[in-house]
């Protein structure tokens, strides 16, 4: 809806004047790019920004569909082997020519000690060079979504890296050396970084030798400025200093609509937000109930789920911008099942009844942990849920903290220190397996499975399915298994899914852009009018 | 003389050490930097290895000594979140903070001194009451709210002035200045105004108090008795005697203003040291936080030292009594 | 008692006070606000700290006189359906408690250290004043930030939220004691040499007794002035801590927390969420500042 407004405005602009040759574009996000080294950090925003500079074998288009990138085509010759044809005539920004050696080099670099991309590089057992533009990839296990993972694994120039001593990923572990590739870039992407002051600004200039002439953008010079304070970010857009900002607080949408020359741009993100509960400890860390863990009782978990009015949170706190969810994966994710996606029914009476049956007719008190600067309106959502739970007798203490502290306590190295928490998960591969493996399967410190299953939910069948779908290639069988696991976890009330948080961008009318559901800004799609 | 200087220097070193210790032991506990540094797909084992390699598992005294020995060489390590040497970051950011702080201090003096004098000479006039009362707004509203209101009015509603950042800057040697471009100057207006309003209250009252004190002194009474014109008296004699303490206090305040500017900087996304510090708290970026506290302390110690020595040079009474 | 009170009423101070419209006006406003906030549980239509009473469906309602307003909520509601009138009154109460208690604490520490420092002199004096120097190199907000941050780590997080108000009081007190110590010390230094102290020492009174009974009453005037101004400052610092996300938990909002939440709605047109608590904060601290300012002028214009 908002998109069409922007498009119409653009069309009007185009009709009046043809776009000039040199187009500047200024945009802002709430944080900065963390490092320029493509293998140093596995984080959605940083990799998304760097994807304008570096590229992988495959690319996502605006609809999150897989497209050829540095590979022009691929086929599986056995469940664990892939034959990949590479693109010819691609040059790096510094002039080197792209070929199979660069792919093999990048894969090996991704396995070096400083790499945070070991997860992706480690899927691959060997790469064999069949020719300068043809390779054979062998994976350890059958991995049907290899190419999806490869969209976030970027290829570097072997010669350039060797010349500059950047053959190893610059490690965040090394506190004395940033590494050449952490401060310089040389990719195959449509933009090159020409200036950068960490935390202040980064300049992208169009690379004239880009292999694909068909990309939409007419931007020749883009400047990125991180602005942490939401009010400052929004006012930078309104005052015309910025062409695009994200995220925009949902409550400011109407302000952006009424302001001249700008509009909000929104859509559902593939991140699903949910409440999780500690179901593994014998006694909750933060609760009035001592000696036992009420959350182990599925009736108590169900009582919580039925006490929270997801629709009201979506309508009021999220201003109608969120899509209520019944399962932990979003509609865009492979494996999604519409029939399971209705939220738990809001029914306080049922909730009270369930609590009474479980032996808590008067409720109990519990602490709800929440970040206050990570997700859209995170703290407000927690307070609203606390208020709803109080009406069925659950006395909730909301503890909202800044994200570094919050994640520090919540995640494995903090010892999963929570009883009741608020979190969101984006499956980076846009496949259910990623969510299952990280947040739904039983915890296993050796394989890393369930590392983000904070509450310690464990259902043997769900865990079994998680393993099977990693290598199941038949789509129908795979979907049936995924649906089965989703149904099981829903019956278990493993989580209380809330909604997909909205993508929330603010865009100047002189700009059209495709909004990707993983909240990545792809400069290839940015067209600036006048 | 030498003894006094040595004494002062020793004091300064002790102060710096104390600040370093306090700052370090405080921030060493703040948050877990690992979660922010790595992505959510990083495995538990990798996270643990990272902790070990960053030295976060060493005993605190070991971490502190390691930090100190590096800090003395100007090496504060790498910023956890920005992946750049901290010393480089501060070298980049310091000009922004100093320009903002010093320019707002100058404005505060230029506006505050005349107003202060006026309120001292015309003790009970209506304008005095109005000036004194309205200047209190500066300390009655939180700085962040003043900043946001200014943005709302001049940036968003009227669209006259930029709402964030420094605009275009020019590099002179290693110093980036926003004073030479029109967008740089325009960008300065709102942050400087915000920071000036905060200081104005103090300066008006300081000048007023000093001026009233001087006007009561014998030599002014004598001068008046000798028939010197009132205006000349006020501006030539009284003012001259007022300035020294005012400038001393403002000088001492400068360290405070530089540190206080962190709120202004975070509202206006001003790329200075304060913004860096506020962001570092959010990211549990220990090296940046420690370096910031140390730099603020160093600035204060240096200013104090200079003021002490100046007093020593200017005030002959201190020569005989030596160090006290 | 009565005699000394009537003596007080006849003093210059009281005479000056009744003559100054600003002083009387600001004192009356400040007292009214204090009374209203202390009576918050009686005056408020709703208990905003009780989550039971909030209904998210009644969130973001404008004030009653605007279209779409609900007469139940005179000043409108915030993003959780909290009545803004009740929230502002309760928020004022919390802010006031924080202000008064933190000033009382820093006063206690500061006056004690100032007395000791000034009276004993020597190494103790040097030590205390050096610590004060170190502390003065950081503005109050930075100190409060550090102290608050330290406690967030030391305390387990659930305890921290329970203790949040005390931690903030401590954090603000830690940043304020220096000024009392310095003021008292300089007063003590000038009083120390005077004959009455000398006399007390000769008749064999101990140092503690001399300090408390003889010197203290003479330094309380300036200390009182500083304290008045500090209360307003403490409330502002609390608001700023909240702005930086280090304030009270969102379920028991102070004025600062309310302004921070409301601030996010400044662009969206829901102005009442931030304007009412903001106005309450400003009117209160302005009236306290005006009164304190007058007090300083009347008692000791040299004081800052």
Q: Which of B14, B128, B55 is nearest to B286 (CA)?
A: B55
Beta bridge partners of residue A274, listed in sequence order: A423, A497
Whether A207 and A189 have beta carbons less than 8 Å apart is answered as: yes
Q: Residue B276 has what pLDDT?
A: 87
Q: Residue B283 has what pLDDT?
A: 67
* B144·C240 Cβ contact <8 A: yes
Which of the pair, A210 or C15, is modelled with greater confidence? A210
SS3 A226: strand
Q: Residue C256 has what pLDDT?
A: 82
Distance from CA of B132 to the nearest CA of C (A): 9
Domain residue extents for chain C: 98-304
Q: Residue A279 has what pLDDT?
A: 94
DSSP labels for A442-484?
A: PPBTTTTBTTT-TT----HHHHHHHHHHHH---HHHHHHHHHH
Confidence of residue B316 (pLDDT cuts 50, 70, 90): low
Q: Residue B142 has what pLDDT?
A: 84
Q: Residue A33 has what pLDDT?
A: 85
pLDDT digits (tens, 9 = 90+) for C80-100: 888 889 889 998 998 899 999
How many residue contacts between B and C have a Cβ separation below 8 Å?
116
pLDDT digits (tens, 9 = 90+) for A331-343: 989 999 999 999 9
**Per-residue pLDDT at A74 exceeds 90:** yes
Nearest to A317 among C54, C79, C245 (CB): C79
Q: Residue C4 has what pLDDT?
A: 59
Partners of B271 on chain A (C-beta within 8 Å) are 197, 199-200
Find the distance separating the first CA and the last CA of chain C, reported in whole Å.
Answer: 32
Name the E strands within C118-236. Answer: none
pLDDT digits (tens, 9 = 90+) for A119-144: 789 889 999 999 999 999 999 888 88
Q: Residue B56 has what pLDDT?
A: 67
Output the six-digit token pair for B1. Answer: 């003389």
DSSP labels for A341-356?
A: -SPPP--HHHHHHHHH
Q: What is the mean pLDDT of residues B281-292?
A: 76
Query: Which residues, given as ranges, of chain C have pLDDT below 70?
Result: 1-11, 137, 149-150, 152-161, 245-246, 250, 300-304
Rounded-to-integer distance, Cα B267 and Cα B143, Å: 9
Nearest to C264 among A230, A254, A313 (CB): A230
> Who's near C109: CB < 8 A, 6+ residues apart?
C173, C177, C180, C181
Q: Residue A7 has what pLDDT?
A: 41
Partners of B94 on chain A (C-beta within 8 Å) are none
Q: Which of A269-278, A301-310, B264-273 has the lowest mean pLDDT?
A: B264-273
Confidence of residue A419 (pLDDT cuts 50, 70, 90): very high
As a whole-number percent, the residues of chain B with pLDDT over 70 amount to 77
How many residues belong to chain B?
A: 324
* C259·B148 Cβ contact <8 A: no
Confidence of residue A2 (pLDDT cuts 50, 70, 90): very low
* Winning range, highest mean pLDDT, from A190-204, B122-136, C19-33: A190-204
Confidence of residue A17 (pLDDT cuts 50, 70, 90): very low
Task: Find the helix or strand (DSSP H, E) in which A279 lies.
Answer: none
Confidence of residue A105 (pLDDT cuts 50, 70, 90): very high
pLDDT digits (tens, 9 = 90+) for B227-244: 666 666 666 666 666 666
Rounded-to-integer distance, Cα A345 and Cα A308, Å: 9
Interface of B with A in 102-161 (CB under 8 A): 148, 151-152, 155-156, 159
Output the six-digit token pair for A36. Answer: 């320029």
Beta strand A221-226 with A395-401 is unpaired
**Per-residue pLDDT at B310 exceeds 80:** no
**Per-residue pLDDT at B286 exceeds 90:** no
Q: Residue B35 has what pLDDT?
A: 52
* Winning range, highest mean pLDDT, from A82-96, A235-249, C190-204, C287-301: A82-96
CATH number of B87-273: 1.10.3720.10
Rounded-to-integer distance, Cα A222 and Cα C129, Å: 53
Which of the pair, A374 or A492, is modelled with greater confidence? A492
Confidence of residue B4 (pLDDT cuts 50, 70, 90): confident
Q: Residue A6 has what pLDDT?
A: 40
Q: Which of C178, A219, A215 is nearest to B256 (CA)?
A: C178
Q: Which of B72-86, B101-115, C19-33 has the lowest mean pLDDT?
A: B72-86
Distance from CA of C150 to the nearest CA of A (A): 13
pLDDT digits (tens, 9 = 90+) for B179-238: 888 888 888 999 999 999 888 888 888 888 888 777 777 666 777 777 666 666 666 666
> Who's near A170: CB < 8 A, 6+ residues apart?
A35, A37, A40, A114, A177, A178, A179, A180, A181, A182, B83
How many residues belong to chain C?
A: 304
pLDDT digits (tens, 9 = 90+) for A161-195: 999 988 888 765 455 566 888 889 999 999 999 99
Confidence of residue A151 (pLDDT cuts 50, 70, 90): very high
Distance from CA of A116 to the nearest CA of B (A): 7
Q: What is the mean pLDDT of residues A254-276?
A: 88
Rounded-to-integer distance, Cα B271 and Cα B82, Å: 14
Chain A touching partners, 3 or more CB pairs below 8 A: B, C
* C236·B29 Cβ contact <8 A: no
Q: What is the mean pLDDT of residues B298-323?
A: 67
Beta bridge partners of residue A449, listed in sequence order: A444
* A387·C157 Cβ contact <8 A: no
Rounded-to-integer distance, Cα C71 and Cα A45, Å: 46
Average pLDDT over chain B, rounded to an integer: 77
How many residues belong to chain A?
A: 530
Q: Residue B30 has what pLDDT?
A: 54
Output the six-digit token pair for C74. Answer: 């005179």
Q: What is the mean pLDDT of residues B305-317?
A: 68
Output the six-digit token pair for A315. Answer: 């309508």
Tokens 């209904």 locate to C55
Which of the pair, B34 or C62, is modelled with greater confidence? C62
Whether B200 and B112 have beta carbons less than 8 Å apart is answered as: yes
SS3 A329: coil
Is the minimum CB–CB distance between B125 and chain C shorter than 8 Å?
A: no
Interface of C with A in 152-181 (CB under 8 A): 152, 157-158, 160-161
CATH T-level fold of C98-304: MetI-like fold (1.10.3720)
* B44·A445 Cβ contact <8 A: yes
Q: Residue C1 has what pLDDT?
A: 46
* C-alpha dihedral sign at A483, A488, A491, A496: negative
Q: Which of A99-103, B43-47, B151-155, B319-323 has the lowest mean pLDDT?
A: B319-323
Rounded-to-integer distance, Cα C250 and Cα C247, Å: 9
Tokens 């179901």 locate to A279
Is the minimum CB–CB distance between B43 and chain A shorter than 8 Å?
A: yes
Q: Residue B238 has what pLDDT?
A: 66
Beta bridge partners of residue A75, listed in sequence order: A83
Q: What is the mean pLDDT of residues B87-96?
A: 88
Whether A326 and A343 have beta carbons less than 8 Å apart is answered as: yes
Q: Residue B121 has what pLDDT?
A: 81
Distance from CA of B22 to the nearest CA of A (A): 21
Nearest to B133 among C22, C153, C240 (CB): C22
Tokens 């030292």 locate to B305
Q: Residue A369 has what pLDDT?
A: 92
Output the six-digit token pair for A67. Answer: 């497209």
Q: Which of A306-315, A475-484, B304-313, C37-46 has the lowest mean pLDDT?
A: B304-313
Q: Residue A223 has what pLDDT?
A: 94
Rounded-to-integer distance, Cα B91 and Cα B174, Å: 8
Q: Which of A356, A336, A322 is nearest to A503 (CA)?
A: A322
Partners of A258 on chain B (C-beta within 8 Å) are none
Interface of C with B in 101-130 (CB under 8 A): 130
Q: Which of A265-279, A329-343, B88-102, C64-78 has the lowest mean pLDDT?
A: C64-78
Tokens 């230094």 locate to C189
Q: Residue A529 has what pLDDT?
A: 85
Whether A421 and A454 have beta carbons less than 8 Å apart is answered as: yes
């Amino acid at each position: 809806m908002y998109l069409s407004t922007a498009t119409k405005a653009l069309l009007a602009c185009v009709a009046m004047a043809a776009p000039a040759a040199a187009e500047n574009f200024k945009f802002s996000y709430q944080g900065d790019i963390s490092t320029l080294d493509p293998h140093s950090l596995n984080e959605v925003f940083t990799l998304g920004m760097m994807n304008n500079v570096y590229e992988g074998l495959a690319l996502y288009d605006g609809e999150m569909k897989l497209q050829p990138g540095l590979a022009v085509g691929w086929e599986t010759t056995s469940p664990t082997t892939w034959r990949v044809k590479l693109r010819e005539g691609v040059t790096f920004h510094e002039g080197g020519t792209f070929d199979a050696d660069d792919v093999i080099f990048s894969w090996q670099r991704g396995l070096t000690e400083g790499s945070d991309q070991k997860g992706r590089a480690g899927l691959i057992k060997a790469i064999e060079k069949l020719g300068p533009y043809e390779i054979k990839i062998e994976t350890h296990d059958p991995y049907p979504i290899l190419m999806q993972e490869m969209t976030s694994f970027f290829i570097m120039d072997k010669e350039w890296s060797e010349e500059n001593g950047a053959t190893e990923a610059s490690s965040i572990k090394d506190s004395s050396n940033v590494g050449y590739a952490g401060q310089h870039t040389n990719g195959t992407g449509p933009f090159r970084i020409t200036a950068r002051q960490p935390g202040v600004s980064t300049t992208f200039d169009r690379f004239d030798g880009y292999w694909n002439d068909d990309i939409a953008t007419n931007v020749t010079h883009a400047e990125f400025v991180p602005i942490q304070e939401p009010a400052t970010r929004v006012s930078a857009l309104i005052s015309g200093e910025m062409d695009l900002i994200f995220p925009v607080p949902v409550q400011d949408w109407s302000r952006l609509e009424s302001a001249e020359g700008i509009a909000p741009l929104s859509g559902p993100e593939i991140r699903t937000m949910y409440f999780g509960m500690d179901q593994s400890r014998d006694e909750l860390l933060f609760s009035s109930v001592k000696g036992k863990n009420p959350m182990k009782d599925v009736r108590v978990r169900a009582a919580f789920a039925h006490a929270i009015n997801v629709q009201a949170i979506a309508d009021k706190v999220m201003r109608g911008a969120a899509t209520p969810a019944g399962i932990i994966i979003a509609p865009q994710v492979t494996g999604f099942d519409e029939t399971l996606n209705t939220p738990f029914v809001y029914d306080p009476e049922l909730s009270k009844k369930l609590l009474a049956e479980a032996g808590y007719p008067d409720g109990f008190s519990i602490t709800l942990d929440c970040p206050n600067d990570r997700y859209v309106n995170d703290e407000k959502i927690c307070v609203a849920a606390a208020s709803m739970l109080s009406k069925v007798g659950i006395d909730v203490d909301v503890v909202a903290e800044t994200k570094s502290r919050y994640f520090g306590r919540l995640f494995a190295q903090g010892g999963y220190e929570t009883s009741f928490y608020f979190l969101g998960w984006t499956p980076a591969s846009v496949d259910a397996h990623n969510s299952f493996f990280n947040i739904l399967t039983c915890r296993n410190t050796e394989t890393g499975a369930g590392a983000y299953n904070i509450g310690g939910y464990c259902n043997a069948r769900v865990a079994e399915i998680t393993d099977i779908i990693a290598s199941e290639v038949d789509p129908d069988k795979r979907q049936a298994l995924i649906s089965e696991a989703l149904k099981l976890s829903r019956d278990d009330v493993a989580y209380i899914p809330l909604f997909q948080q909205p993508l929330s961008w603010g865009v100047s009318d002189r700009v059209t852009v495709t909004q990707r559901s993983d909240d990545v800004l792809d400069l290839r799609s940015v067209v600036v009018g006048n | 003389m030498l003894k006094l200087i040595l004494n002062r220097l020793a004091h300064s070193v002790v102060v710096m050490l104390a600040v370093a210790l306090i700052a370090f032991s405080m921030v060493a506990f703040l948050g877990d930097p690992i979660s922010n540094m790595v992505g959510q797909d990083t495995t538990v084992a990798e996270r643990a290895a990272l902790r070990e390699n960053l030295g976060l598992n060493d005993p605190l005294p070991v971490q502190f000594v390691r930090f100190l020995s590096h800090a003395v060489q100007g090496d504060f390590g790498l910023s956890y979140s920005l992946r750049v040497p901290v010393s480089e970051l501060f070298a980049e950011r310091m000009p922004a903070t100093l320009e903002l702080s010093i320019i707002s201090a100058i404005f505060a003096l230029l506006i505050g001194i005349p107003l202060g004098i006026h309120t001292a000479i015309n003790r009970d006039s209506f304008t005095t009451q109005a000036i004194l009362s309205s200047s209190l707004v500066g300390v009655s509203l939180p700085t962040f709210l003043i900043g946001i209101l200014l943005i709302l009015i001049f940036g968003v509603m009227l669209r006259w002035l930029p709402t964030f950042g420094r605009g275009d800057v020019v590099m002179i040697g290693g110093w980036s200045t926003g004073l030479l471009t029109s967008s740089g100057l325009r960008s300065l207006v709102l942050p400087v105004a915000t920071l000036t309003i905060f200081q104005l209250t103090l300066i008006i009252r300081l000048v007023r108090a000093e001026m009233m004190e001087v006007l009561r002194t014998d030599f002014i009474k004598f001068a008046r008795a000798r028939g010197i014109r009132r205006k000349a008296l006020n501006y030539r004699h009284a003012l001259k005697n007022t300035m020294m303490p005012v400038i001393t206090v403002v000088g001492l305040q400068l360290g405070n203003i530089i540190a206080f500017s962190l709120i202004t900087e975070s509202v206006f996304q001003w790329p200075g040291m304060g913004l860096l510090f506020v962001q570092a708290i959010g990211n549990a970026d220990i090296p940046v936080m420690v370096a910031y506290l140390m730099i603020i302390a160093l600035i204060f110690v240096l200013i104090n030292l200079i003021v002490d020595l100046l007093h020593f040079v200017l005030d002959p009474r201190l020569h005989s009594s030596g160090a006290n | 008692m009565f005699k000394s009170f009537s003596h007080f009423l006849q003093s210059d101070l009281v005479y000056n006070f009744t003559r100054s419209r600003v002083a009387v006006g600001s004192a009356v406003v400040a007292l009214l606000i204090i009374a209203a906030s202390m009576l918050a549980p009686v005056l408020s239509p709703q208990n905003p700290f009780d989550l039971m009473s909030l209904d998210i469906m009644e969130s973001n309602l404008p004030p009653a006189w605007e279209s779409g307003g609900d007469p139940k909520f005179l000043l409108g509601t915030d993003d959780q359906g909290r009545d803004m009138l009740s929230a502002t009154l309760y928020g004022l109460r919390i802010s006031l408690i924080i202000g008064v208690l933190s000033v009382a604490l820093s006063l206690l520490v500061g006056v004690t250290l100032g007395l000791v420092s000034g009276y004993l002199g020597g190494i103790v004096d040097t030590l205390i004043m050096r610590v004060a120097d170190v502390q003065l190199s950081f503005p109050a907000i930075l100190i409060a930030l550090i102290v608050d941050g330290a406690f967030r780590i030391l305390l387990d997080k659930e305890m921290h939220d329970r203790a949040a108000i005390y931690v903030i009081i401590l954090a603000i007190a830690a940043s304020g004691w220096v000024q009392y110590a310095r003021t008292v010390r300089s007063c003590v230094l000038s009083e120390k040499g005077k004959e009455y102290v000398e006399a007390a020492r000769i008749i064999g009174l101990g140092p503690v007794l001399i300090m408390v009974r003889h010197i203290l009453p003479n330094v309380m005037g300036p200390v009182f002035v500083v304290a008045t101004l500090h209360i307003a400052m403490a409330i502002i610092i609390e608001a700023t801590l909240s702005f930086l996300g280090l304030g009270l938990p969102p379920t028991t909002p102070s004025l600062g927390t309310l302004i921070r939440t409301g601030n996010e709605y400044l662009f969206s047109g829901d102005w009442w969420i931030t304007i009412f608590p903001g106005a309450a904060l400003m009117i209160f601290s302005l009236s306290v500042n005006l009164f304190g300012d007058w007090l300083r002028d009347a008692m000791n214009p040299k004081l800052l």
